[in-house]
C-alpha cells in the first residue's frame, strides 16, 4: 500500500514560511508584496482557481489585486492592462488565469508580462532559462510543486528513471527539464508514443499530465514507484485525476491524491514565485 503524498499539508507548511518572509519584507520596505490576478470571462473552473489563489495570498500577507475582465475584451485592452501592471512598483507578480477566450492568443498575451513579474513562469525568457539551466528565472508553478512533492519522499531523484506522460508547455516539458536538472534519466511520452505501458512500467518516478481520467492503471506502474498525478478532470463523479488511484495505490510506493496532491502545491509555488520575485528586486 503506497504512502499518500499529502500536498495540502506540505503546501500549508510552505505557506507558513512564506507568510513569515512576506511580513519581514513589509517590515523592511513599508509595503506589502503584491500579486495581480487577471481573469477574463466567466469560466466557473477559472473562478474557483482564482478565488483559491486570492485566499492563499491573504493567508500569506500578500496583497492581491484582482482584475475581472469581460469575455468580450480584446487582446489590446488586456495587453494595455499588463503594460500598466508591468510598471506598477507595488506589483511584484502578474498572473493571467488560463484559458483565455478563443479570440485571444494566449502566447501573445503572456509574452507581454515582464519576465521579472511572470509569477506563473510561462514567459519564453523564463522557460528558456529553465532549458539552459540558468539561475534567476521563474519556474512554472505546477512543475516546481511536483519536484517538491517528489523530494518530500526522501527518495533521491538522481539516477532514477523518470517518465513524464504529457508534453505540454506548462507541465510536461518543464517538469521533464527539472527532473533532468535533478539528474534523473527522463523519458517524455505523448499521444504518439508507442508501447506506452512498457515505458511506464520501467518508471521509478511516474508523472501523469495527460488530462484523461484514470488513464494510468495499476498494470502500467512499477512496484514501489513514485506516482505523481497532475490531472484535474471534471467528471460527473467530481474531480478526477489521470491516475486510477484506487488500483495504483496498491502497487506504487508513493502516490498523490486528487484533490489534495499537486493542486495545492501549484498555488503554494505561485506565492513562492511572487515572494522570490519581490525579494530579487
Ligand atoms: P494538455 O492537454 O496541454 O497536454 C496533455 C498531454 O497529454 C499532451 O502532451 C498529449 O500528447 C498527452 N496525451 C494525450 N493523450 C495521450 C495518450 N493517449 N497517451 C499518451 N499521452 C497522451 O494538458 P496539460 O499539460 O495542460 O494538463 C494535463 C492535466 O493536468 C489536465 O488534467 C489539467 O487539468 C491538469 N493540470 C493540473 C494542474 C494542477 O495544478 N494540478 C495544473 C495544470 C494542469 P500530444 O502532445 O501528443 O497531444
- Model confidence pLDDT, tens digit, residues 80-124: 999 999 999 999 999 999 999 999 999 999 999 999 999 999 999
Whether residue 32 is predicted with pLDDT greater than 80 in this model: the reply is: yes
Whether residue 17 is predicted with pLDDT greater than 90 in this model: the reply is: yes
Whether residue 280 is predicted with pLDDT greater than 90 in this model: the reply is: no
pLDDT digits (tens, 9 = 90+) for 134-153: 999 999 999 999 999 999 99
| Residue whose grid cell is 513514485 | 226
Whether residue 169 is predicted with pLDDT greater than 80 in this model: the reply is: yes
Q: Is 146 in the pocket of ligand 1 (CB under 6 A)?
A: no
Q: Is 199 in the pocket of ligand 1 (CB under 6 A)?
A: no
Give the residue-averaged pLDDT of 76-81.
98
**Total Cβ atoms within 10 A of residue 239:** 15
C-alpha cell of residue 106: 494566449
* Closest ligand 1 atom to Cα of 266: 40
pLDDT digits (tens, 9 = 90+) for 228-263: 999 999 999 899 999 999 999 999 999 999 999 999
Looking at residue 261, the DSSP 8-state letter turns out to be S
Q: Any bridge partners for residue 33, and if so which?
A: 62
Alpha-carbon span 28 to 94, nearest angstrom = 22
Burial of 193 (0-12, 13-18, 19+ CB in 10 A): middle
Q: Is 187 in the pocket of ligand 1 (CB under 6 A)?
A: no
Cβ pair 215, 186 in contact under 8 A: no
The most distant pair of C-alpha atoms in the chain lies apart, rounded to whole Å, by 58
Mean pLDDT of the chain: 97
Whether residue 281 is predicted with pLDDT greater than 70 in this model: the reply is: no
Least confident of 171-175, 187-191, 237-241: 237-241
Catalytic residue annotation: 53, 97, 120
Q: Is 196 in the pocket of ligand 1 (CB under 6 A)?
A: yes
Helix, strand, coil percentages in the chain from 3-state DSSP, rounded to 5: 45, 20, 40
In the prediction, which pLDDT does 237 show?
87
Burial of 70 (0-12, 13-18, 19+ CB in 10 A): exposed
Pocket perturbation via mutation, ligand 1, pick of 52, 97, 165, 168 by most ligand atoms within 8 A of CB? 168
C-alpha cell of residue 28: 523592511
pLDDT band at 224; cut points 50, 70, 90: very high
* Closest ligand 1 atom to Cα of 209: 28
- Rounded to 5 degrees, φ, ψ at 185 are -95, 120
Cβ pair 207, 256 in contact under 8 A: no
Cβ pair 122, 273 in contact under 8 A: no
In the prediction, which pLDDT does 14 show?
98
Nearest to 269 by CA among 171, 187, 173: 171
In the prediction, which pLDDT does 249 show?
98
C-alpha cell of residue 251: 502497487
Amino acid at each position: 500500500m503506497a504512502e499518500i503524498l499529502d500536498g495540502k499539508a506540505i503546501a500549508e507548511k510552505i505557506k507558513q514560511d512564506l507568510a513569515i518572509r512576506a511580513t519581514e519584507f513589509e517590515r523592511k520596505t513599508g509595503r506589502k508584496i503584491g500579486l495581480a490576478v487577471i481573469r477574463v470571462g466567466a469560466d466557473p473552473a477559472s473562478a474557483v482557481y482564482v478565488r483559491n489563489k486570492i485566499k492563499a495570498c491573504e493567508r500569506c500577507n500578500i496583497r492581491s489585486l484582482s482584475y475581472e475582465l469581460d469575455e468580450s475584451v480584446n487582446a489590446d485592452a488586456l495587453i494595455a492592462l499588463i503594460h500598466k501592471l508591468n510598471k506598477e512598483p507595488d506589483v511584484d507578480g502578474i498572473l493571467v488565469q488560463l484559458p483565455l477566450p478563443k479570440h485571444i492568443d494566449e502566447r501573445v498575451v503572456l509574452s507581454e508580462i515582464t519576465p521579472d513579474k511572470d509569477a506563473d513562469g510561462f514567459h519564453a525568457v523564463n522557460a528558456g532559462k529553465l532549458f539552459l539551466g540558468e539561475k534567476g528565472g521563474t519556474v512554472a508553478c505546477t512543475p516546481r510543486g511536483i519536484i517538491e512533492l517528489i523530494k518530500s519522499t526522501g527518495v533521491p531523484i538522481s539516477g532514477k528513471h523518470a517518465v513524464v506522460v504529457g508534453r505540454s508547455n506548462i507541465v510536461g516539458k518543464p517538469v521533464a527539464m527539472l527532473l533532468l536538472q535533478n539528474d534523473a534519466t527522463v523519458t517524455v511520452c505523448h499521444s504518439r508514443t508507442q508501447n506506452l505501458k512498457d515505458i511506464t512500467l520501467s518508471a521509478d518516478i511516474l508523472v501523469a499530465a495527460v488530462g484523461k481520467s484514470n488513464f494510468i492503471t495499476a498494470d502500467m506502474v512499477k512496484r514501489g514507484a513514485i506516482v505523481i498525478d497532475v490531472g484535474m478532470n471534471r467528471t460527473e463523479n467530481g474531480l478526477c485525476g489521470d491516475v486510477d488511484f484506487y488500483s495504483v495505490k496498491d502497487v506504487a510506493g508513493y502516490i498523490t491524491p486528487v484533490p489534495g496532491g499537486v493542486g495545492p502545491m501549484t498555488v503554494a509555488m505561485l506565492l513562492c514565485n511572487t515572494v522570490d520575485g519581490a525579494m530579487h528586486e
